[in-house]
């Protein structure tokens, strides 16, 4: 990230951090019935938290020191934990305000109960869910088995197993130990093909070279492939594309590879393609996403699979004749209550969708986590996809 972009990011994040922290303080002040001294202490806590939430990301990006030093770990875990907790409290108590504003007036005694009794219960409950979400996030990813039927899948590729990793976010909080476990789980599935659908890193190659090293242990007969996500463009995308190549990972940027297997009468082929991130052109004009180019192939192929970080790419995938798109990006909201919001706002938030008669979409909810170490109700995921063909007639 350039220094100019970093300064813009710092100004934006500072504004948001202090604004949300102040609004959360105001919401709690209305609900908790604290003394004047208690309110002043609460305000000091929220303003100090906003300062930490601004300082942590800025220093990480500005200094570009190798990730994992003890002072940096203490700062990053503290500020990101505060970010998740304050964000959750803000949403919950804002929802209470909306509900009360839309409801009939309460008599004074009921209003006192709603203000203090329910308010303190909600605060305690939100804190407990944040703690539970922390343990879910740090316990690692679960393997999710997903059978996918593709009508045009050649017989030779029946049972093809694809392991999908997405949104690992190796960076301030996720390091080599977490990634080692992910690699072990992926290899235990004995995949034919491994794909990584973007947002692998948060930080430069110099910061994360050692933390990303476990990816070099990935092995699959049909290869390991990667497509960029939006976070690669905050982290030096060209350096990362070059570095992933040294780990045996093929980057597909508006390009493809033909996978071949002997058939009964002739060689059978499927196309594996990847596009640059849906928003990549904002950062690198040469990386404008182009599913038509990604689908272009001089050979006859029976079916086409697309790696595209953002589910929004599905419209182009459908127009370009892809049978299956594998995506991530959404984190399925990452943790409640944000998962409710993401489910309401996004058409494709997690899981398998049949988009039209030909094309299907699978959205991985994230193999790691970004920002707050919280996956309450939405545990991190390694997807093990088994392709089958529908027998007709």
* Portion of the chain with pLDDT greater than 70, in percent: 94
- Helix, strand, coil share of the chain (percent; to 5): 50, 15, 35
Q: What is the mean pLDDT of residues 259-267?
A: 90
What pLDDT is attached to residue 392?
A: 44
- Please give the residue that has the higher pLDDT: either 216 or 31: 216
Q: What is the mean pLDDT of residues 371-392?
A: 91
Is the sign of the CA dihedral 28, 29, 30, 32 positive or negative? Answer: positive
The average confidence (pLDDT) of the chain is 92
Give residue 1's pLDDT band: very low, low, confident or very high (50, 70, 90): low
What pLDDT is attached to residue 66?
A: 77
Model confidence pLDDT, tens digit, residues 297-326: 989 999 999 999 999 999 999 999 999 999
Residue 347, H or E segment: none
Residue 379 contacts by C-beta under 8 Å, 6 or more apart in sequence? 136, 139, 141, 142
3-class DSSP state of 83 = helix
* Portion of the chain with pLDDT greater than 90, in percent: 81
Whether 101 shows a pLDDT value over 80: the answer reads no
Least Cα distance to 360 among 171, 147, 168, 46 occurs for 147
**CA 366 distance to own-chain centroid:** 5
For the record, the structure tokens of 105 come out as 């007036």
Q: Which residues partner with 353 through β-bridges?
A: 361
Q: Domain residues of the chain, as ranges? A: 3-138, 142-388
pTM value? 0.93
From CA 52, how far away is CA 50, in angstroms rounded? Answer: 5
Q: What is the mean pLDDT of residues 161-171?
A: 98
Q: What is the CATH number of domain 142-388?
A: 3.60.21.10
3-class DSSP state of 297 = coil
What pLDDT is attached to residue 62?
A: 80
Model confidence pLDDT, tens digit, residues 132-146: 999 999 999 999 999
From CA 157, how far away is CA 192, in angstroms rounded? Answer: 10
Q: What is the mean pLDDT of residues 281-304?
A: 94
The 3-state secondary structure of 169-212, one letter per residue: CECCCECHHHHHHHHHHHHHCCCCEEEEECCCECCCHHHHCCCC
What pLDDT is attached to residue 107?
A: 57
What pLDDT is attached to residue 393?
A: 39
């Amino acid at each position: 990230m350039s220094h100019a972009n970093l300064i813009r990011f710092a100004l934006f994040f500072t504004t948001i951090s202090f604004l949300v922290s102040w609004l959360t303080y105001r919401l709690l002040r209305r609900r908790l019935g604290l003394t004047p001294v208690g309110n002043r202490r609460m305000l000091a806590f929220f303003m100090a938290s906003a300062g930490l939430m601004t300082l942590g990301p800025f220093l990480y990006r500005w200094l570009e020191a190798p990730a994992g030093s003890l002072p940096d770990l203490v700062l990053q875990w503290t500020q990101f934990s505060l970010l998740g907790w304050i964000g959750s409290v803000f949403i919950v108590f804002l929802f209470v305000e909306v509900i009360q504003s839309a409801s009939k007036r309460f008599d004074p005694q009921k209003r006192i109960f709603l203000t203090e009794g329910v308010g303190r219960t909600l605060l305690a409950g939100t804190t407990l869910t944040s703690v539970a979400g922390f343990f879910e996030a740090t316990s690692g990813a679960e393997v999710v088995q997903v059978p996918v039927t593709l009508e045009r899948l050649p017989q030779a590729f029946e049972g093809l197993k694809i392991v999908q990793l997405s949104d690992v976010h190796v960076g301030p909080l996720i390091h080599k130990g977490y990634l080692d476990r992910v690699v072990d789980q992926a290899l235990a599935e004995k995949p034919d093909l491994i794909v990584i659908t973007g947002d692998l890193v948060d930080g430069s190659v110099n910061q994360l070279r050692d933390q990303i090293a476990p990816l070099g242990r990935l092995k699959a007969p049909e290869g390991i492939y990667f497509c960029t996500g939006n976070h690669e463009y905050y982290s030096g995308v060209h350096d990362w594309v070059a570095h992933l190549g040294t780990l045996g990972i093929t980057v597909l940027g508006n390009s493809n590879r033909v996978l071949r297997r002997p058939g009964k009468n002739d060689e059978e082929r499927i196309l594996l393609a990847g596009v640059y991130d849906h928003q990549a052109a904002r950062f690198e004009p040469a990386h404008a996403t182009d599913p038509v180019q990604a689908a272009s192939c001089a050979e006859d192929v029976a079916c086409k699979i697309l790696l595209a970080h953002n589910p929004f790419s599905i419209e182009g995938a459908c127009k370009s004749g892809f049978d299956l798109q594998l995506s991530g990006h959404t984190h399925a909201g990452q943790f409640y209550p944000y998962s409710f919001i993401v489910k309401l706002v996004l058409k494709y938030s997690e899981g398998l969708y049949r988009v039209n008669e030909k094309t299907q979409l699978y959205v991985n909810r994230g193999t790691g986590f970004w920002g707050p170490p919280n996956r309450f109700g939405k545990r991190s995921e390694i997807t093990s996809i088994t392709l089958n063909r529908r027998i007709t007639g």
